[in-house]
Structure 1
């Protein structure tokens, strides 16, 4: 992002804060608290550790869920990408699993896995699974035909073709799927916490709703936005590292 775009983005943020402050003055604090009040509650909650356990609970749920869903998504994506037959077998069931809203499945997961962390992890994994499956399968299937022909002429095995051609060439597409899955992992953790949880940022939102504490709710929403930006930024760092490693290999070759 160049300096001009960064400045414009900063000015837009200031403008949105101004609109927020102006709107908050027209209504009750119960409906829309003022920015200074929200940031004061947020800062105090961070300093005294009030938010820490809730943040850690949500982060653990989304990381484990993302790892589980991501691993299964990539693995099944490779299998489907390598075998059109298996794609025809599994595709109907994959679509059915995604057609059912996850929030409708959440009560069942609570019944099966309890109200602890496991049910939230399973919901998160299920939500993260599909984007990586689709991205991986697409990356495996859409490979440069000339490169694929070259590997066949060199008598490369199926495993060698997958490892040295399809996966490296498909990394940008897989990372795009990971970027979507990372954002959805936060949604998955929150969905589980909304249904039933004692800790976590989602549980804190439900608690603030019950106490009619709109200021606390806004503070938690800001924490969620920051957490989402951090996760998104980590994926961007990973993508840059992959591109850097790829360019170094090309230069050596």
Structure 2
């Protein structure tokens, strides 16, 4: 048997293969860090409550919260004590109020930003209305519109209207004057300048406003249900607080958080499709609005 000696130079600087985990950690570290932080916080919460002997009616451990969440989801779809019926009611209020309020804010913000005399005339009134605490108006709105769906939608509309109004106006103001002058130089009419320059430049600001409005919509729905409602996650929270069911209350918080995350994810997906021409970090969350 003969052994051939390796006479070639050793390639010490040859790159080593990168494992899938290390590649993920380099390219998308948030996909590793975010779950890790969540697990650490849950473990600290679980064992911290036990070690410090905190009563469960003050702060239940995550295991009790998960058990309450499973119990609520395991109930029937139309069960009054279950989560499905109340989640459907709250989600419908959130979506309806979000669409109506955001559309109204976007339309009015677009009109005001395009017509200077309207902005100069109504800006003071808009500031005064925006300064009012919308949450404090909830009892009056329920008194005016009753305990049904309408009062919740009105509250959500008030909370989602101004983020779109303010952000759309800021977006249309942020258009570079050079681009407008260029469009005028090539003979573009106002309608063409709006669709080709003003609206695309304002879209990142508009999506930032939509993201804010989605969060406010969930808050508005719960506040409206606190003031007066027969169904909804806000009603469940009040009922659980009255019976000292803190674990159940925390489980409802999880559902509300999931609704917010769902709306945020849908908006981010639509944003990536609409703002396909924008580079990373230049979309709604990179506009600085």
Confirm whether residue 19 of structure 1 aligns to residue 51 of structure 2: no
Match of 2:251 among 196, 219, 223: 219
Match of 1:32 among 59, 70, 78: 59
User: What are structure 1's unaligned runs of at least 5 residues?
Assistant: 248-253
Residues 138-169 of structure 1: per-residue CA shift (max 9 Å, x gap):
11122121210121123322222112221122
Aligned to 2:6: none
TM-score by length of 1: 0.93
Superposed displacement of residue 93, structure 1? 1.4
Superposed displacement of residue 51, structure 1? 0.5
Superposed displacement of residue 34, structure 1? 1.4
- Divergent runs of 4+, >6 A: none
Structure 1 SS opposite 2:276? helix
Superposed displacement of residue 56, structure 1? 0.7
Aligned to 1:95: 127
- Alpha-carbon spacing, 1:186–1:161, altered in 2? closer, same or farther (3 Å): same
User: More helix per residue: 1 or 2?
Assistant: 1
User: What are structure 2's unaligned runs of at least 5 residues?
Assistant: 1-23, 280-289
- Aligned counterparts, 1:139-218, within 5 A: 139-218=171-250
Once superposed, what is the RMSD of the aligned Cα atoms? 1.6
- Aligned counterparts, 1:48-127, within 5 A: 48=75, 49=77, 50-127=82-159
Superposed displacement of residue 37, structure 1? 1.3
Q: For residues 185 and 197 of structure 1, what CA distance do their matches in structure 2 show? A: 16
Match of 1:45 among 64, 72, 86: 72
Superposed displacement of residue 245, structure 1? 6.7
Superposed displacement of residue 102, structure 1? 1.3
Q: For residues 181 and 92 of structure 1, what CA distance do their matches in structure 2 show? A: 22
Larger radius of gyration, structure 1 or 2?
A: 2
Structure 2 SS opposite 1:244? coil
Pick 1 or 2: higher relative contact order, CA cutoff 8 A, min separation 6: 1
Aligned to 1:130: 162
CA contact under 8 A between 1:33 and 1:215: conserved in structure 2? yes
Residues 191-213 of structure 1: per-residue CA shift (max 9 Å, x gap):
11111111111111111111111
Residues 36-65 of structure 1: per-residue CA shift (max 9 Å, x gap):
111011012112231011111111111111
TM-score by length of 2: 0.82
Structure 1 SS opposite 2:93? helix
Range that drifts further, 78-87 or 58-67: 78-87
Q: For residues 132 and 231 of structure 2, what CA distance do their matches in structure 1 show? A: 26
Superposed displacement of residue 215, structure 1? 1.1
- Alpha-carbon spacing, 1:96–1:245, altered in 2? closer, same or farther (3 Å): same
CA contact under 8 A between 2:174 and 2:201: conserved in structure 1? no
Aligned to 1:250: none
Q: For residues 214 and 70 of structure 1, what CA distance do their matches in structure 2 show? A: 34
